[in-house]
Chains A and B, each alone.
Chain A
Amino acid sequence: MSVLTRKERPPGADVPDGPPAGAARRMRPWTPYAFLAPYLALFAVFMVLPIGFGFWTSLHEWDVNLPRKPFVGVENYTDLFDPGSVDGSRFWTAMRATGIFTVASVPLLIVLPLLTALLMNGRFRGRNVYRAVYFTPYVLGVAVVGFVWRFLLDGNIGLVNHYLGLDVQWTTDVPPAWVALVGVTVWWTLGLNSVIFLAGLQDIPRELHEAAMVDGASARHRFRAVTLPGLRPVMVFVVNSTILASANMFGQSYLITGGAPADQTKTAIYLIAETGLRQFDMGTASAMSFVLAAFLMAASALVFGAFRERDRT
């Protein structure tokens, strides 16, 4: 970890003393912008423009196939906030479903992968096999996962009920449908967060653990005083990306429950896809996306706030 300072450099190294004067002189005011330009161009073309276009769409009655796309102002948005409108009630049911799924899945997708990573971080025979076992489901596509679990979980002809001797309607009843969707998602994506946590754990200097041990800290103390603070930057990333991924859940409920019972497990992205791509109503779908995006940005801000490094005075 230590970085060689100039004084420690071995005598043979031929490094000129003083700052590289020539480089500073050649620096033009636009140099940083020149370095930024390629990324800025990509960012503008693939992020700013589409977002702007999406917002423009959301202000229109935008039917993909019709030449006429009349401007309606914020009507698409006010419709969403009008509980009496068809779109409004559908949208908030979907937002509620998204919220339930996110709240139920995120804690599990943080705690279980962390525990898994702590176990994987130990030294034992066949460690790589176990790591692979946990990561394997993640390489499957959502179509495979959805299709397989839909039949395994079927309440009347599925293998899960058959072998466990249960009579639970995993795909057509709530809350069992939520248990199924969260369970499948955890099984499927646990590996990714575990691998990230594992990398984070391996980045914590051993010396810190050794120092804590010398000071007589128990394993639990070391976890709280060394491991968790050491994982903080990784944790911010994992929590944030897991919240976003859970809030964008679509494939599992599309394939496993089909939104059942009635529309109770139809998530926001599911509804947005249906509205925009099946009903061609891009204006409403875009407005829905922007409302969802606002919620997600607020959630991210809260996460960053919660993990902000406190001033050490």
Chain B
Amino acid sequence: MTSPLSRRSFLGLTGAAGLTAALTACGGGTRIGADSPPAASAAPSFAGGEYTGPKVTLDYWNGFTGGDGPHMRAMLEAFNKEYSGRIEVRNVTRRWEDLYPAMPTAISAGKGPDVAVIHNDWIGTFAARRTLIPLDDVVGALRLGESDFIPAVWNAGVYDGRRYSVPLDVHSLGDYWNRAHLEKAGLKAAPADRAGYQDALAALKDAGIENPFWMPSKWPAHLMFMSLLWQFGGELYSEDGTRALWGSDRGAQALAWMVEQIDKGFSPAKVAQDSQYAAFKNDKVSFTWDGIWQINDLKANAPSLKWDLAPVPNIGGTAAVWASSHNFVLTAQAGKDPAKVQAAKFFIDHMSRRSTEWARAGMIPARNSVRRDPAVAGLPQIGLAADVNAFHFLPALPGVGDVQSKALELAVAKAVLKEASPADALKEGVATADKLLAENKRKYGG
């Protein structure tokens, strides 16, 4: 269970990284990094090609604790074998929610990673904290650009005019469905629109599935809410990152649809954390929305379950789904040693070329060319990427994770647990979010 727990919680535990003293009202108008030394300005630039420097050891941190872990380890073993005697990559895998809070502290102590994988929504926070070193030269050497990637993923790697990451993959929410249940209700596949979904749920109930679609109050409830918000045409935050927009009528419609599932009896009330996924694995639930990283977990740990994966249905009228992306970054710790910078950039370049292999870990490769590769195109998750415009990402605002966990996630939980109406929960949440955004603005500048 490590994987699902950790994956599901990584956003939930957002508070984690750079989130900071954001809350403390401070008279001084401090700005993060104001006194920091410029990070690795003297680092050599990268021209591509083989690494030729002295032998170095790179510490590499990532959160691939689940079904994706073995694939990452296999890729590392191959790398270490190929470049033995020149570069040695030491792997440290920790759960995402432990990795993010530990990383900045460990890096400033010189005991952190030289190179790491982080989610796209953390890039702004870490870059603002000067935890990362720009990678413009790497993508220059790789001749990569927006047209090679899903644009939103590519653009999330830029902070303050400089590029801090090389995207590895995209992962989104998907609609897992129980084949046996649907057959019982006379259905062949998961419906893709609002009316079809409601009819299917009613049919499943008639067919004897008491609660076909459990509505979680915690992870991934906020991912469901964000997906629905975008579907109804809403937005998360204003462009300049000063206002939360998810309390709009569209947000209320999205949240109301989630609560409606409980009112109509499709979901039991007050579902505890991870219960809906555990129930799906135990053949009790017909539909559950969860991340594509569960594919390998279901294959390994629920071998007798007959399931399938479909894109999240279009409830609000516009196709949209929450997505995130794993990104390679180079840290300020590596920046202290020019040889390490070169070796790390070489490593990132090498790994980013291996995304076909990485797709077998259950992820959707971020590179357009790889997604079209016949070896990858047949994998179950690739179907979700048929319309990449449906992918919506959390903006890489510095400190956004803090706002999400203290305001948005809490509002969703309150509404789903029936502690407040969707509109009231969102109104209260937005008031908190706006205060936090103002604090972040002051703290990180901008």
Contacts and interface: CB of A to CB of B under 8 A. Distances in A.
A156 B275 contact: yes
Interface string B254-291: 00000000000000111111010011001010000000
B18 interface: yes
Contacts of A72: 24-28
B275 A70 contact: no
B217 interface: yes
A154 B275 contact: yes
Interface in A253-286: 258, 260-263, 274-275, 277-284
A171 interface: yes
B5 to A, nearest CB: 10
Interface in A16-71: 61-68, 70
A171 to B, nearest CB: 5
A284 B20 CA distance: 10
Contact of B417 (A68, A156, A261, A274): A261
Interface stretch (B42-50, B101-109, B315-323, B347-355): B101-109
B32 interface: yes
B24 A281 contact: yes
Most buried by B among A150, A278, A279, A282: A279
A108 B23 CA distance: 38
Contact of A156 (B17, B28, B33, B268): B268
Nearest to A277: B101
B57 interface: no
Nearest to A71: B28
B24 A75 contact: yes
A74 to B, nearest CB: 11
Interface string B77-114: 00000000000000000000000010011011000000
Nearest to A173: B270
Interface residues of B, number: 53
A64 B17 CA distance: 11
A155 B24 contact: no
Contact of B402 (A65, A66, A262, A279): A279
A156 B101 contact: no
A308 B422 CA distance: 53
Interface stretch (A79-87, A221-229, A235-243): A79-87
B34 A68 contact: yes
Contact of B419 (A85, A87, A262): A262
B361 interface: no
Contacts of A282: 21
Contacts of A262: 410, 413-414, 417, 419
A169 interface: yes
B129 interface: yes
B21 A65 contact: no
A70 B432 contact: no
Most buried by A among B33, B272, B406: B272
A193 interface: no
Nearest to B415: A262
A284 B23 contact: yes
A70 B28 contact: yes
A96 interface: no
Contacts of B22: 279, 281
State the main secondary structure of chain B at its contact with A.
loop
Interface residues of A, number: 41
B413 A261 contact: yes
Contacts of B30: 61, 68, 70
Interface in B3-27: 13, 15-27
B239 interface: no
B436 interface: yes
B246 interface: no
A76 interface: yes
A150 B272 CA distance: 9
A159 to B, nearest CB: 13
B427 interface: no
A303 B440 CA distance: 43
Contacts of B20: 63, 66, 279-281
Interface in A115-160: 150, 154-157
B278 to A, nearest CB: 6
A96 to B, nearest CB: 15
A157 B218 contact: no
Given A68-B35, A155-B270, A262-B413, A281 B19 contact: yes
B435 interface: yes
B36 interface: yes
B232 interface: no
Interface string B424-441: 000000001001100100
Most buried by A among B108, B270, B282, B410: B270
B214 interface: yes
B417 A278 contact: no
B270 A284 contact: no
A283 B24 contact: yes
A209 interface: no
A260 B275 contact: no
A260 B272 contact: yes
B21 A260 contact: no
A226 B101 CA distance: 55
The 4 A-B residue pairs with the shortest CB-CB distance in the complex, in nearest-first order:
A278-B15, A65-B104, A172-B270, A169-B270
28 contacts: A61-B26, A61-B28, A62-B21, A63-B20, A65-B108, A66-B20, A66-B33, A68-B35, A72-B25, A72-B27, A75-B24, A79-B25, A85-B25, A86-B23, A86-B435, A155-B275, A156-B272, A156-B275, A157-B279, A157-B282, A260-B217, A262-B417, A262-B419, A274-B15, A279-B15, A279-B402, A280-B18, A283-B21
Interface of A: 61-68, 70, 72, 75-76, 79, 85-87, 90, 150, 154-157, 169, 171-173, 258, 260-263, 274-275, 277-284
Given A157-B275, A262-B413, 18 more contacts: A61-B28, A63-B21, A65-B108, A66-B33, A76-B24, A150-B272, A155-B268, A155-B275, A171-B272, A172-B270, A173-B417, A260-B217, A261-B419, A279-B402, A280-B104, A281-B20, A281-B21, A281-B23
